[in-house]
Amino acid sequence: MEKNDKTVVEYLQQIEKRQRKIENRLLSQKTVLNFDELSEFTGLSKSHLYKLTSTGRIPHYKPNGKYIFADRIEIEFWLKRNRVKTIDEIDAEASTYVTLNRKGR
């Protein structure tokens, strides 16, 4: 591969990277996502998403009974469920509990 060929390949890679950034920015502006966009947005495979929708474990819409859509904000809330507390939060709760529930007082 010649030097010119390498620079062309690098240039094409830069263009592809920019295109992905633009697509992601446009995706974050949409309020209703189609199934492909839902997969892209969540990072979940389509087969896993089909399983989640068919079992009713993820919020979604089927306006005509066939195509699957999702509200981006509802999906964001769904993704943020079951938050895991940090060690500092657990330590603070434990300290508060011990302070308030001392026996013998």
Position 68 scores a pLDDT of 96
Was domain 31-105 assigned CATH 1.10.10.10? yes
Burial class (CB in 10 A: 0-12, 13-18, 19+), 28: exposed
Provide the pLDDT for residue 82: 92
pLDDT at site 77: 96
Q: What pLDDT is attached to residue 5? A: 66
Instruction: Give me the residue spans of the domains in the chain.
Output: 1-30, 31-105
Note the pLDDT of residue 85: 93
Give this prediction's pTM. 0.64
Question: What parts of the chain have a pLDDT lower than 50?
Answer: none
Q: List Cβ neighbours of 80 (8 Å cut-off, separation of 6 or more).
A: none
pLDDT of residue 26: 74
Calpha distance 69→20 (Å, rounded): 22
